[in-house]
Structure 1
């Protein structure tokens, strides 16, 4: 009987201590790179649907608390200087550790309302950037390498960094020690791995940490290999892995 009471008391104390622990999750820094070059047409119905849904999902998953950040950059000839949007969540949950159940519920309701409003504003502004046109000369080149210093700067904040490329990932920059997949794509996965490992030696000057990276390609499931060259995505998988990224997804 005594043992039973001891066990019951321990379980009760453990339950109370866990219930009182506030959330300690760190804010998230979301980077969305939207391709604004001639090779990606967001006006195509499939692409628009896919990218709109992706943006909705990204905001729903990553915008959760005060301090969450979201930046949008355009991918084109001057990607690292092409920040189109920068937003930080201001909605804050009150400290309800000593509040009554009624006051706690009221505080949570108020926070949910404020956060929902901010999500709607962020969603609207990101979708505006999605459909923005780039008719300038910068749409002739696709410099995805230039996203690396942007990721590096985000990683320096100490926040959890999540990166999304809404792009065909066709790097296209002429010149020595660059890649132009428009003219010369990797012929197979073996060559893609070789190029990525060679390029990584130069690009390791960027310390990008361990962000989660997702490549959202603008290709229908029945796209031909010529349109959606798997060796190109293999190149990026290997390059990011060489730079220390542990989680790279393709959708």
Structure 2
């Protein structure tokens, strides 16, 4: 009987602790760290946005990016074009203005009304963001800058975003084929890495040239324009391996290929 009473007391204690933990979790303040989203859109000749597969994939990616990252006042989204002059090619900058009213001491009805008002306002902003970003996706680059692809130049842009203390999320809508003239640059159109080992060696060597850019620990996604049946010549895995290694060497928290 004594053993049964002790077991019962322990069970009550566990339930009480679980209840307290749940209460603490529900009272924990929401994360107020702003999200700074950078979308780099490839506007060089190697990416054809007029292809149905590419347009559909990139429009869906934009929808997902906005749904995941535009959540509260202060969240920022910027679009840069990738071409010969990437670092000076900011095409769009938007910041969320919708703000949830203070509801900590409000009754249930007022909390629900405040949340509904915020959700409506945020959804309107997200719809506007989608429209503006997709407009940039559709924009054609017919200037001479479309002859080169300077992805290295995106690194100082990421480093700048890191200075503001935001959670930086980076998305490349690109084939990731760096193609820039110069003796100390890479041109993957003419000389791609032959395999993953060479890609790793090149990336580590290039890290020494680029280490002045403090990226922080951004999440980076490479969203490639290739169909699933693309050949190795078209979608060279050693090219994305190069970027995986380079970004990780420069401090990226997570690098993925989509």
Judging changes above 3 Å, is the alpha-carbon distance between structure 1 residues 107 and 171 closer, same or farther for their aligned structure 2 residues? same
Higher Cα Rg, which structure: 2
Structure 1 residue 51, shift from structure 2 partner? 0.2
Residue equivalent to 2:54: 47
The 5 A counterparts of 1:121-140 are 121-140=128-147
Structure 1 residue 7, shift from structure 2 partner? 7.0
Rounded Cα–Cα distance in structure 2 between residues aligned with 1:198 and 1:128: 38
Residue equivalent to 2:114: 107
Task: Determine if contact 1:22/1:97 at 8 Å carries over to the other structure.
Answer: no
Residue equivalent to 2:94: 87
Rounded Cα–Cα distance in structure 1 between residues aligned with 2:174 and 2:12: 62
Residue equivalent to 1:75: 82
The partner residue of 1:156 within 163, 185, 197 is: 163
2:227 partner SS: coil
Residue equivalent to 2:154: 147
Structure 1 residue 18, shift from structure 2 partner? 3.7
Give me the TM-score of the superposition, normalised by structure 2: 0.92
2:188 matches 1:198: no
Rounded Cα–Cα distance in structure 2 between residues aligned with 1:147 and 1:26: 23
Bigger CA drift: 100-109 or 11-20? 11-20
Structure 1 unaligned spans of 5+: none
Per-residue CA deviations over 1:157-191 (Å, capped at 9, x if unaligned) read: 11100000000001000111100111111111111
Structure 1 residue 116, shift from structure 2 partner? 0.2
Give me the TM-score of the superposition, normalised by structure 1: 0.95
The partner residue of 2:243 within 228, 236, 240 is: 236
Rounded Cα–Cα distance in structure 1 between residues aligned with 2:195 and 2:14: 63
Structure 1 residue 69, shift from structure 2 partner? 0.5
Residue equivalent to 1:219: 226
Judging changes above 3 Å, is the alpha-carbon distance between structure 1 residues 11 and 143 closer, same or farther for their aligned structure 2 residues? closer
Rounded Cα–Cα distance in structure 2 between residues aligned with 1:5 and 1:188: 61
Structure 2 unaligned spans of 5+: 1-7
Structure 1 residue 123, shift from structure 2 partner? 0.4
Count of paired positions? 251
2:232 matches 1:249: no
Structure 1 residue 245, shift from structure 2 partner? 1.4
Judging changes above 3 Å, is the alpha-carbon distance between structure 1 residues 5 and 123 closer, same or farther for their aligned structure 2 residues? same
Rounded Cα–Cα distance in structure 2 between residues aligned with 1:113 and 1:149: 36
Rounded Cα–Cα distance in structure 1 between residues aligned with 2:168 and 2:26: 29
Per-residue CA deviations over 1:195-232 (Å, capped at 9, x if unaligned) read: 11111101001111110000000000000001011111
Structure 1 residue 27, shift from structure 2 partner? 1.6
